[in-house]
Amino acid sequence: MDITIRAGFLAHQDPEASLAFYRDVLGFEVRGDVGRDGLRWITVGPAGQADSSVVLHPVGEGPGLLLTTPDLDSVFERLQARAEVIQEPIEQPYGVRDCAFLDPAGNLIRVQELR
């Protein structure tokens, strides 16, 4: 399988405090800042490392791992018999096609198709 680690996810309780820490203290770039229904997802990462990022997400959503692949359907086909499927491959309203599984410990793994 051709899979790459894309991002780690860290919960936040205060998006402004988290943003200040990752941006101002660690010097990470802000790559995305999306709000919806009173919640906020902030994507940050080290300068010069565009393929590596951390998504700061609202409390209440489980931490997880985001993987990318050029062939989502073949990855889904292989994993669906070996992991608990949370979401079959779908086109998300925010412009990505992905699926989701739980690993044996219950951690969320999202697999996103590269475009």
At 3-25, the pLDDT tens digits run: 777 778 877 888 998 899 889 97
pLDDT band at 62 (very low <50, low <70, confident <90, very high): low
User: What are the residue ranges spanned by the domains of the chain?
Assistant: 4-113
Cα(first)–Cα(last) distance of the chain, in Å?
Answer: 17
CA distances from 82 to 33, 51, 76, 99 (A): 34, 27, 10, 14
Q: Is the pTM of this model over 0.85?
A: no
Q: What mean pLDDT is reported for the chain?
A: 85
CATH code of 4-113, in short, is 3.10.180.10
